[in-house]
Amino acid sequence: MAFSGHCMCGAVAWTYSGDITRNLVCHCTDCQRATSSPFTAFLGMRPEQLRWTGDITHYESSPETFRGFCPACGTRLYFRSARWPTEIHVHAATLSEPGQYRPDAQVLTRSRAEWLDQLQSIPAHEGFQQPPSAARP
């Protein structure tokens, strides 16, 4: 299978050709903190089949665990760890077509944000329900 993606500003891009090793939504507290989001969706890929263009900055979030991001726009790109030496976990939101992503499992649900269960019952809007506040002098 072939996939591609990029960061928000386009300074970093990636292409992948090969089988996906994992296709998950992770609810762990590390992913929540690292992405400022209630969960992270990612694709497990074989590093030797993944090609990057552009500069990537790495943050060692724990020993032998690295999180890569674009130094220009800050987009989180991937997670890699010595715990999974044959995989790199690329964030699904960086896919060229992220709307087509379909995870096949959720993991570490003990850390799942409880309010996610309420999303179906909360009013939904195509845009912001209120216009931005007027600029103050």
Range 2-114 has CATH code 2.170.150.70: yes
Domain boundaries, the chain: 2-114
pLDDT on residue 39? 83
How do residues 61-74 score in pLDDT, each as one tens digit?
889 999 999 999 99
The pTM (predicted TM-score) of the whole model is: 0.82
25, 107 contact by CB (below 8 A): yes
Q: Say how far apart CA 31 and CA 39 lie, in whole Å.
A: 6
Cβ atoms 48, 16 nearer than 8 A: no
pLDDT digits (tens, 9 = 90+) for 72-89: 999 999 999 999 999 999
